[in-house]
A = this chain, B = another copy of it.
Amino acid sequence: MSPDFRAEWRARVDAELDRLLPAAEAWPANLHRAIRHSVFAGGKRLRPILAMAAARACGGDLEQVLPAACGLEMIHTYSLIHDDLPALDDDDWRRGVPTCHKAFGEATAILAGDALLTHGLACLAEYPEGEKFDGAKVRVVRAVAEAIGTAGMIGGQVEDLEAEKDGPGAERSIGRLEKIHAHKTGRLIRASLAVGGLLSFAPEASLSLLDAYGEKLGLAFQIKDDLLDVESTREELGKETGKDSAHGKMTFPGLLGVEESRRCLEEAIGEARAAAARLERGDGPLGDLAGFVAARKN
């Protein structure tokens, strides 16, 4: 597998997102511009690419999985837009451009997030077309909705806000930090892999391996995120750096130190690679993506 596949798949995802999202001129134009501002701010498209990689590993058809994979990116972008709002994380920059509420105002940002969540879940119910996918699509919507619901992503966001609000007396432990991340980012990453597997009619054993891979990849992703926050510049990262420690946020390097965090990152990547090796013959996209998550610069 040539590592170029990431750039190629990313381009396919971008083209498909452009096709699936309402045109910027269509009524209500200002809202559609806000949606496109955030979706096309240059994300890594990790979640759609993971869904496609899972489909490839399970013998599925990439073209069939592509629109549902884009639904995952819409849902991810919704979560970023709402997390960035003044009432939540209050961030001004994201992916190198002003956040949605900075560029379009708070009301529009709230509605743009709502719209992306709605449209994203709709894509999962709608694609791939054809009756033979009806049962798989019902399972897909259920899996993703559970992953991003109150016992999943939203719960992680609540816990994160509460941990920050608790102040100096708060419980600061690796257990609490891992719980936040496992929910806030881990669950959607795992669900993305499930989408690729379910739409490829993968057997339960493969779905379990995909989930194990996703769990370790998600953990690695977050440790790397925290390491980037202390080791990168704003130019490299496209958003403010050093913000975590300035806000007294729990982070892996803050709790474990940089060296131990790097060791945990390597360990998680090793476990993800092991699960990938049981799903893919030789070099496959899942194995490659594990390496990419550990090495990425933003």
Could you tell me if B118 and A148 are in contact, using CB atoms closer than 8 angstroms? yes
Cβ–Cβ < 8 Å partners of A82 in chain B: 110-111, 114
Query: Copies per complex?
Result: 2
Could you tell me if B87 and A118 are in contact, using CB atoms closer than 8 angstroms? no
Answer yes or no: A137 CB below 8 A from chain B CBs: yes
Identify 5 new A-B residue pairs, CB closer than 8 A, beyond the known A122-B142, A122-B149: A87-B106, A111-B157, A125-B138, A125-B145, A137-B138
C-alpha gap A22/B151 in the complex (Å): 9
A residues with a Cβ closer than 8 A to B are: 22, 26-28, 30-32, 35, 78, 82, 85, 87-88, 105-108, 110-111, 113-115, 117-119, 121-122, 125-126, 131, 134-135, 137-138, 141-142, 145-146, 148-151, 154-155, 157-159, 161-162
C-alpha gap A119/B121 in the complex (Å): 11
Q: Per DSSP, are chain A's interface residues mostly helix, strand or loop, or mixed? A: helix
Cβ–Cβ < 8 Å partners of A105 in chain B: 87
Could you tell me if A32 and B118 are in contact, using CB atoms closer than 8 angstroms? no
Cβ-neighbour of A150 out of B35, B131, B137, B141 (below 8 A): B35
Could you tell me if B114 and A31 are in contact, using CB atoms closer than 8 angstroms? no
C-alpha gap A162/B122 in the complex (Å): 26
Cβ-neighbour of A142 out of B126, B142, B154 (below 8 A): B126
Could you tell me if A154 and B88 are in contact, using CB atoms closer than 8 angstroms? no
Q: How many whole Å from A141's CB to the nearest CB in chain B?
A: 4
Could you tell me if B117 and A158 are in contact, using CB atoms closer than 8 angstroms? no
Question: By CB atoms of chain B within 10 A, which of A35, A118, A137 has the most?
Answer: A118
Could you tell me if A28 and B141 are in contact, using CB atoms closer than 8 angstroms? no
C-alpha gap A85/B107 in the complex (Å): 9
Q: How many whole Å from A25's CB to the nearest CB in chain B?
A: 13
Closest B residue to A101 by CB, please name it: B87
Question: By CB atoms of chain B within 10 A, which of A106, A138, A150 has the most?
Answer: A150
